[in-house]
Chains A and B, each alone.
Chain A
């Protein structure tokens, strides 16, 4: 099964440009959707207007999520996502943020982040990050099924 696009949630235009450039250099065909605030992510993932059309706005296979965002923060988005009553709640989320504070890292894992990456300082390091991210999450990792039934097992 073809993997869906990467959903990049980043409000800072220059960070977003650098990230998109790093991924684009790696694979020009890699689909990446960018949103700039938490409320739009919730609308997008819920398929609410203007994102009803899944052909135009496909479900992502993974989310790269900043913490500091206008309106809903990255943490609020993550919490909302993991509480969805549908299989969408399994969507893998990787935090990508400039914060390396222990409280933020712990909170991200507690809310169900799959992984936590800190934004690198240089363009070279960012390309390296993009490469490793892509070959891991879009390469060897088995994605969950986002449309199936949810197991009768309780998330703690």
Chain B
């Protein structure tokens, strides 16, 4: 059961089977943060920008962490990342790329566009649990997220 008082993790992943494995991994790792799952780049942009139905931040809260696949329908993950880093309120949200693509050029491009970290999806589904656990232990439990993400606007920029 997720706890709505905890910050949301945004999972941007078009592969249904990968998304299921990741969600199951989070459940197993006892992550109680709500997980918002979006399947395409344009939809993810709408969520982050808070347009249309996503205007309601009680229902669609800004995430404390974004797990981003790169190959997506609509806008690609790298395009979304590039857009995010230019936004005033939400530009600091940590983005962890989580993808099958392990080519050096893609890894480099992701860092150049401001990815905080880059993880390669393991070929073996059983290994996904380890990745999820590491994400939880590092990004959710240890890292200090940018305060604006939580919604407090006490510090102007």
Contacts and interface: CB of A to CB of B under 8 A. Distances in A.
Do A and B pair up? The answer is: yes
Interface of A: 87, 90, 92, 100, 102-103, 105-106, 109-110, 112, 114-118, 129, 132-133, 135-136, 139-145, 148, 150-151, 153, 155-156
B134 interface: yes
Interface size class on chain B is 35 or more
B86 to A, nearest CB: 5
Give the interface centre of A92, A100, A102 by most chain B CB atoms within 10 Å.
A102
Q: 10 tightest CB-CB pairs across the interface, nearest first?
A: A109-B92, A102-B147, A90-B111, A144-B111, A142-B118, A136-B138, A116-B144, A156-B85, A156-B86, A151-B109
A148 B108 contact: yes
A103 B154 CA distance: 10
A153 B113 contact: yes
A153 B134 contact: no
B142 A140 contact: no
17 contacts: A92-B117, A105-B144, A106-B92, A106-B148, A110-B91, A117-B142, A118-B144, A132-B138, A133-B138, A136-B134, A140-B131, A141-B118, A142-B102, A145-B108, A150-B112, A153-B82, A153-B112
A145 B147 contact: no
Contacts of A115: 94, 116-117, 138-139, 143
B137 interface: yes
A110 to B, nearest CB: 6
